[in-house]
Amino acid sequence: MIAEPLRRSAQLLDCVDALRNGPALALLLGTLVLATLVVGAGGWLAQVSVFFSLLFALMAAAVVLWGTHAVGVMMWDEATGVPARHWTDAVDAAVHHGHRMLGVALLVAGAYVVLLLAVVLLVVVCKLPFMGPILYTAVFPVAALAMGLAMVAVPALWLPLIAPALWSGQRVWPAVSAAVALARQRAPLVLIWMLALGVLVAVIASLAAAVVLTGMAMVTGLSAPILGPAVVGGLVGGPLGSSMGSAMGAVQTTAAYVLAASLGGGILMAVAFTAPALVYLRGVCTVYLMATDGLDLSALQADVQAQAQARWQRMGERFGPAAPPASDVTAAAGAAAAATPPAPASTSSAAAAPMAPEIPPGPVETPPKVAPVPPPPAAVVPPPPPPPPPAALPVAPPITLSAAAAADAARTACPQCGARVAPTDAFCGECGFALRPRA
């Protein structure tokens, strides 16, 4: 059981090859040097206001967070064997996804605050008379064990299980669920591998510190008789060391040399810390890959998320209705919209009326069958009587014309077409008939 993880721990020796990755080494060195300069600027502006010191400290933390995320992306590519991204692409990925690491850091900080408040509350309860010492007998070992596990578990367990998942492109919740699943399955193995990685990083840090501190000691010895012991104090202990050197009666130098010595010493510490930090980031990726080897990570993540959802529902049932996750609300709204038919147009008052609670239907009774009644026969309506024939009109007696009147009537009508003509007309105006004989 122990021989297998020890044998696989030899793979961590390959992490030393990360020092050959020039772009990643330069990016990490630039990140640490820039953070050191930001802290130095904040310390210089702290003479004006302490607010600047706090502000620049936060800026330096942001530089370290986003810079190490970019380097972690490059180390993840190297550990997985994929073509390494250019450092500009890694910085772009850190700019777009570095806030996820910040979210995890805030979650961890919140957990630390909750644990600290819980311990303080328990210690305050232990001030009760008579029962206080008895309670403190149990509170002290439990609180010490909880605090110790919290301080060790984050750098040794949670960081190597969450950070590589974020560097690979996962979001916060999948990364956290994967870390929880891996901690349940292989927490002892991860601790052993991280212990082996810590030994390797400590060896590299010792070599880097030996080189840097040896050179710093030699340059400090040469600078002391030329620039004064105050500069030596600035290199050793910053402004406090420079004031101690001045109090010893040494030659007083300007504050500019002290600030330059302090910043120079900080840059040297950043250089010394770069190599072991790069090996550590590469080793964290290797530990994550060894921890996930042979496991169905997607199934483990789904199981952790289902358990978290079940606990959420139980808490909601116990302490009152709680808002479900946004994804569940969206899915439920989509299903309800798909299952609900479109409502007919109605008045606004009817739409705004509250819905009555649904009453389950009771048993339906079948009414007795009744024989159909035939319709009554239609009444026969006699046809209307025919209209009476019209009365006979009296016949007027024939009108007899005299010979003279007949001659006049013949002269006033065309004998050919019967059109009306004047007695004086020579021709008919309709047919052109000659009304008068020719001489």
Statement: residue 416 has pLDDT above 50:
yes
Q: What's the confidence (pLDDT) of residue 339? A: 46
> pLDDT tens digits, residue range 164-174?
989 988 888 88
> Which two tokens mark 234?
């600035």
Q: What's the confidence (pLDDT) of residue 397? A: 53
Which pLDDT band holds residue 203 (cuts at 50, 70, 90)? Answer: very high
Statement: residue 31 has pLDDT above 90:
yes
More confident residue, 7 or 166: 166
Q: What's the confidence (pLDDT) of residue 121? A: 93
Domain boundaries, the chain: 20-295
> pLDDT tens digits, residue range 377-400?
555 566 666 666 655 555 555 555
Which pLDDT band holds residue 346 (cuts at 50, 70, 90)? Answer: very low
Q: What is the SS3 assignment for the chain?
A: CCHHHHHHHHHHHHHHHHHHCHHHHHHHHHHHHHHHHHHHHHHHHCCCCHHHHHHHHHHHHHHHHHHHHHHHHHHHHHHHCCCCCCHHHHHHHHHHHHHHHHHHHHHHHHHHHHHHHHHHHHHHHCCCCCCHHHHHHHHHHHHHHHHHHHHHHHHHHHHHHHHHHHHCCCCHHHHHHHHHHHHHHHHHHHHHHHHHHHHHHHHHHHHHHHHHHHHHHHHHHHHHHHHCHHHHHHHHHHHHHHHHHHHCCCCCCCHHHHHHHHHHHHHHHHHHHHHHHHHHHHHHHHHHHHHHCCCCHHHHHHHHHHHHHHHHHHHHHHHCCCCCCHHHHHHHHHHHHHHCCCCCCCCHHHHHCCCCCCCCCCCCCCCCCCCCCCCCCCCCCCCCCCCCCCCCCCCCCCCCCCHHHHHHHHHCECCCCCCECCCCCCECCCCCCECCCCC
Q: At what angle do helices 229-247 and 172-227 cross, to 10 degrees?
A: 80
More confident residue, 235 or 264: 264
CA 195 – CA 287 distance, rounded (Å): 11
Which pLDDT band holds residue 2 (cuts at 50, 70, 90)? Answer: low
Q: What's the confidence (pLDDT) of residue 116? A: 93
How does the average pLDDT of the chain come out, rounded? 76
- pTM of the complete model: 0.64
Rg of the chain's alpha carbons, rounded to an integer? 53
Q: What's the confidence (pLDDT) of residue 3? A: 64
Q: What's the confidence (pLDDT) of residue 370? A: 53
Phi, psi of 295 (to 5 degrees): -115, 145
Q: What's the confidence (pLDDT) of residue 415? A: 80
